[in-house]
């Protein structure tokens, strides 16, 4: 670090995330890096592409400074892997699935290699012939896209990405595929396809049929023949109903995406990455980074000059990432080099609007966001054109098809989820508003830690309405709205995701999309618990009308277990009291215990029942496994093994062994995400977090609560993200 540099201070949450997930570690798990050395590792590795350029030393220092000072951050794989032996720096990929056994299982293999290196995958199942259609080579019938999606899902379960990230997939099926109704309903049971986000690829023709009350045709992709017609309105109602029920499936407007396809000569878009912000051709990758808009306010306005400099530097950084990347398979390397797509996005939009005193959900807020995104897109293109003069345009560039100036990168901008990196930068994620302004964190010794948004605390103290009592009230209500102590001006500016109408969420997304986003946007349209199916319907229709390329809705509390409660936990949801004093006297079991039963599937898709019995303090006392088996010896043996394991765990619980120690041993014993130790570990973590719901609401790494943001479940305590 140069002498004239100011040392960057990080928040406690940022340091926690970095230590848990990003810093290189020794064999005992001790960090070998700090923030400065991590940034130097990343900057040096990416700048090394330009070692022979005359500006190499300056470029390397500039890369370092913009990352170290949190002005721009690349995606997580880049921060984790740049300058390491792994060297895989891309976030996500789209892999094709051809309609053959070789094609299907080749994609499973390629997906496994991608997940192993830290990437997520998007798949379109639209090329697969429908269920029960004839297979001439075997004289049999096809099992259909969903049966193979289950195989992809199971394969993902077995792989932990790069030792740091778990697999995530996007599954896409065209609305005109004959199996579309089965696909729409596939995730009604939330225990199925847990490693997939499902989205329906919706065509303009379908939306036209919905609007006009018409039927539309289902086409067998293997024969191109019409096999059935359906009422478009009824199908749309089904999509809406399931999205209202639990947020899935999402919708992707595939024709809108293909109208903006920068390289139509290479094919059409079929799928996106897991979070939906990157439409990619088969074997393309997304190489992402985000500008932290929180740092670009000067004298009550936007610092346009500094923003331009960072944009140019960020484009060069992301372009270099492509050249120093170690892609998991040759096909990806070839296609990525051919189009050289990058995804420069933003985070901290809400922070910038707060500093400018502009409410997020207003026309002024949308105009400001659109102006910024248009500016970034224009400057990014200037930078890419300059790079093309220096290094040549992307190899697939063809003026006959590509009616734009020769540039280095076929695509330049997208707005990706930044859940983890925005925690490092201490700003709002992506283009989302803050989910909460004040939160309460309950720690194991019973203390309550108030976590107050930095801008809100600064303004509240400046305007002299800050008090601990008020912060408690805001945390309990989950909103700044309606508190008389807070002036109305600041109530409006600090409206959170739940306080902003769905219409205004979508209008912001549409405004950003049509102003300066080449690819797409990952954004969650937050709906209140009382939202109706008509509200979901109107959201989708408005998003389509405004030019969005995809939408995710989430109705508060719509999943089997609430993902985040911004207020205090209900009386029946207190954190379990667990001794931290080691071995103490064995607890006597009362005559009656409360219990919860969880229905699960093992690695072979056999049904298992886990039963957790707990006392009046909601401390687990006993666990049981019930395995419905026939007389096969292997299943009897498995049942005996599971029973023995549960007895040992129950004994440890009754002797009050610290639950985190029990979980640690279960995690070490687990060889598969669906085996008994893994499932028991998940359940005990949920009790530590006070949820008792088991799976959806509890972070699998730290037992913290998960937030549903940008179409993904994110832990704000340790930085875990299901899909990024």
The beta strand positions in 164-287, using DSSP E, are 165-166, 169-174, 196-202, 215-219, 226-231, 250-253, 271-272, 279-280, 285-286
Nearest-5° angle of CA 447, CA 452, CA 458? 140
SS3 of residue 290 by DSSP? strand
**Under a CB-based contact definition with an 8 Å cutoff, are residues 23 and 34 in contact?**
yes
Cβ count near 33 (within 10 Å): 16
Strand order in the sheet with 594-601: 594-601, 607-614, 620-626
Q: How many CB atoms lie within 10 A of CB 250?
A: 25
699 catalytic? Reply is: no
93 SS3 class: strand
Q: Which two tokens stand for residue 664?
A: 């640690």
Give the single-character DSSP code of 721: B
> Given 78, 110, 197, 277, which residue is catalytic?
277
DSSP 89: -
Return phi, psi of residue 520, to 5°: -145, -170
Sign for the pseudo-dihedral over CA of 30, 33, 38, 42: negative
702-706-711-712 Cα dihedral, nearest 10 degrees = 10
CA distance 233 to 218: 14
Is 325 one of the annotated active-site residues of the chain?
no
**Nearest-angstrom CA–CA distance, 702 and 574:** 17
* Distance (Å, whole) CA 481 – CA 473: 11
Pairing of strands 120-124, 169-174: parallel
Look at residues 421, 352, 351 and name the one whose alpha carbon lies nearest to residue 14.
421
Residue 68: phi and psi, rounded to 5, are -60, -40
For the beta carbon of residue 722, count every other beta carbon within 10 angstroms. 25
| Helix spans in 117-184 (H) | 145-157, 180-184
- Tokens at residue 527, please? 């709906």
Concerning whether 273 is annotated as a catalytic residue, the answer is: yes
Catalytic annotation, pick one of 273, 292, 453, 504: 273
Cβ partners under 8 Å of residue 4, min gap 6: none
Q: Please state, in angstroms and rounded to a whole number, the distance separating the CA atoms of residues 474 and 480.
A: 6
What is the C-alpha separation between 696 and 39, in angstroms, rounded?
34
Burial class (CB in 10 A: 0-12, 13-18, 19+), 573: middle
Residues in the chain: 724
Instruction: List the catalytic residues.
Output: 273, 275, 277
């Amino acid at each position: 670090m140069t002498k004239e540099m100011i040392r960057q201070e990080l928040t406690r949450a940022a340091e926690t995330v970095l230590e848990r997930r990003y810093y290189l570690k020794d064999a005992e798990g001790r960090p070998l890096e700090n923030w400065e050395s991590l940034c130097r590792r990343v900057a040096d590795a990416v700048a090394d592409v330009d070692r022979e350029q005359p500006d190499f030393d300056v470029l390397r220092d500039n890369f370092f400074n913009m990352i170290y000072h949190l002005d721009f951050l690349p995606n997580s794989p880049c921060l984790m892997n740049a300058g390491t032996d792994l060297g895989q720096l891309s976030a996500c990929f789209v892999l094709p699935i051809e309609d053959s056994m070789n094609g299907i299982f080749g994609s499973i293999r390629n997906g496994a290699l991608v997940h192993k290196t830290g990437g997520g995958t998007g798949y379109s199942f639209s090329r697969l012939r429908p269920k029960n259609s004839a297979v001439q080579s075997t004289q049999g019938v096809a099992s259909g896209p969903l049966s193979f999606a289950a195989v992809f899902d199971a394969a993902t379960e077995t792989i932990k990405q790069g030792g740091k990230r778990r697999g995530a997939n996007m599954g896409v099926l065209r609305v005109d595929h004959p199996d579309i109704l089965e696909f729409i309903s596939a995730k009604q049971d939330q225990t199925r396809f847990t490693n997939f986000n499902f989205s329906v690829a919706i065509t303009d023709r379908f939306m036209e049929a919905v609007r006009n009350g018409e039927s539309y045709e289902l086409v067998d992709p293997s024969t191109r023949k019409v096999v059935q017609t359906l009422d478009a309105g009824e199908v749309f109602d089904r999509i809406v109903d399931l999205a209202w029920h639990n947020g899935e499936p999402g919708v992707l407007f595939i024709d809108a995406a293909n109208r903006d396809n920068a390289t139509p000569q290479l094919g059409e878009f079929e799928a996106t990455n897991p979070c939906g912000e990157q439409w990619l051709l088969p074997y393309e990758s997304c190489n992402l980074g985000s500008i932290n808009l929180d740092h670009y306010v000067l004298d009550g306005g936007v610092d346009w000059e500094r923003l331009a400099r960072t944009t140019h530097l960020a484009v060069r950084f992301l372009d270099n990432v492509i050249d120093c990347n170690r892609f998991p398979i040759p096909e990806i390397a070839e296609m990525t080099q051919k189009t050289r797509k990058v995804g420069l996005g933003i985070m901290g939009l809400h922070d910038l609007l707060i500093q400018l005193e502009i409410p997020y959900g207003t026309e002024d807020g949308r105009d400001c966001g659109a102006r910024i995104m248009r500016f970034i897109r224009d400057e990014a293109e200037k930078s890419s054109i300059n790079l093309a003069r220096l290094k040549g345009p992307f190899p697939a560039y063809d003026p006959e098809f590509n009616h734009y100036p020769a540039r280095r990168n076929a695509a330049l901008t997208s707005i990706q989820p930044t859940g983890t990196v925005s925690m490092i930068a201490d700003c709002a994620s992506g283009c989302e508003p803050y989910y909460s302004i004040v939160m309460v964190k309950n720690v194991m010794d019973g203390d309550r830690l108030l976590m107050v948004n930095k801008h809100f605390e600064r303004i509240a103290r400046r305007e002299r309405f800050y008090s601990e009592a008020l912060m408690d009230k805001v945390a309990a209500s989950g909103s700044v709205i309606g508190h008389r102590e807070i002036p109305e001006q600041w109530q409006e500016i600090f409206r959170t995701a739940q306080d902003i109408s769905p219409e205004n969420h979508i209008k912001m997304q549409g405004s950003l999309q049509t102003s300066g986003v080449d690819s797409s946007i990952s954004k969650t349209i937050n709906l209140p618990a009382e939202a109706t199916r008509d509200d979901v319907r109107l959201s989708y229709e408005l998003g389509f009308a405004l030019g969005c390329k995809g939408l995710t809705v989430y109705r508060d509390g719509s999943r089997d277990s609430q993902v985040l409660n911004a207020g205090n936990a209900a009386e029946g949801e207190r954190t379990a009291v667990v001794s931290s004093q080691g071995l103490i006297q064995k607890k006597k079991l009362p005559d009656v215990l409360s219990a919860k039963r969880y229905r699960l599937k093992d690695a072979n898709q056999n049904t298992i029942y886990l039963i957790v019995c707990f006392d009046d303090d909601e401390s687990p006392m006993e666990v049981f496994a019930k395995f419905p088996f026939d007389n096969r010896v292997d299943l009897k043996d498995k049942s005996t093994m599971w029973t023995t394991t549960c007895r040992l765990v129950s004994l440890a619980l009754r002797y009050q062994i610290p639950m985190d120690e029990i979980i640690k041993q279960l995690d070490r014993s687990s060889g598969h995400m669906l085996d008994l130790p893994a499932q028991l570990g998940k359940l005990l973590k949920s009790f530590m977090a006070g949820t008792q719901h088991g799976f959806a609401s509890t972070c699998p790494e730290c037992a913290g609560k998960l937030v549903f943001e940008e179409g993904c479940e994110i832990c704000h305590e340790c930085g875990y993200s299901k899909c990024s």
